[in-house]
Amino acid sequence: MALFRRNRSVTPLRSGEKAPNFQLSSAQGGVFRLDMRTAHGPVVLAFVDAGGEGDGLLQLLKDHQTELQRAAVAERFRAREESRASGEAYLRIGPTVTTTVAAVVRAKSMEEVRELRDRLQLPYYVLWDETGWVSGMYGVPEGKTAVALVQSDGTLRWFPAESLGAEQILRAIFPPREEGQGSGA
């Protein structure tokens, strides 16, 4: 089955393109499906190798996970209030709106993935990209670290992993408001 063959493509998807759907085994148990998570809000994907240079990136996402989760909720509430002010219809939002953080880890075994999760005490999804297939679909070669945001509509946005700050991702989820915008202004 093609799903289990290594995808050697390293042509990266571009920001603005549709993110390919995937499912991977999670170190927490069970299976992570991208489309199931984007149904509840944006998903931040960090692509790393087990034992590679991605520890700092994973720690950054860990340190800012709560802010990232709250940003999706704030953005949905802001959109709802703006639609009310303009008289446009807006779907009701439920309590499950959140930003999901997931590390896509290329490793030889699930044990390596669990060791990484436990060593860094990562509170978010840590996924095993056993054959590198998902990384290849996204165009992230072995040995490289990358960060992407997949919006609820499936749109992809890349961030420079070398100079990444959590505020860049937060601004993408919850863009700064220009003066004069918003309800009551």
Tens of pLDDT along the chain (185 residues)?
233 334 444 567 899 999 999 999 999 999 999 999 998 888 999 999 998 788 989 998 999 888 877 766 666 666 667 667 776 655 554 445 678 999 999 999 999 999 999 999 999 999 999 999 999 999 999 999 999 999 888 999 998 766 677 677 777 776 665 544 444 43
pLDDT of residue 88: 65
**Residues pairing with 100 in the sheet:** 43
Is residue 39 classed as helix, strand or coil in its secondary structure? coil
pLDDT of residue 6: 44
- CB within 8 A of 100, min separation 6: which ones? 37, 40, 41, 42, 43, 44, 124, 125
pTM of the complete model: 0.78
pLDDT of residue 78: 64
pLDDT of residue 179: 46
pLDDT of residue 96: 54
Q: How many Cα atoms are found within 13 Å in the side-chain-facing hemisphere of 110?
A: 9
pLDDT of residue 132: 95
How far apart are the C-alpha atoms of 146 and 134, rounded to whole Å?
Answer: 13
pLDDT of residue 167: 74
pLDDT of residue 33: 97
Asked if 69 and 98 count as a contact pair (C-beta separation under 8 A), the reply is: yes
Give exposure, 19-40, as e/b (b: 16+ Cβ within 10 Å): beebebebbeeeebebeebbeb
pLDDT of residue 159: 86
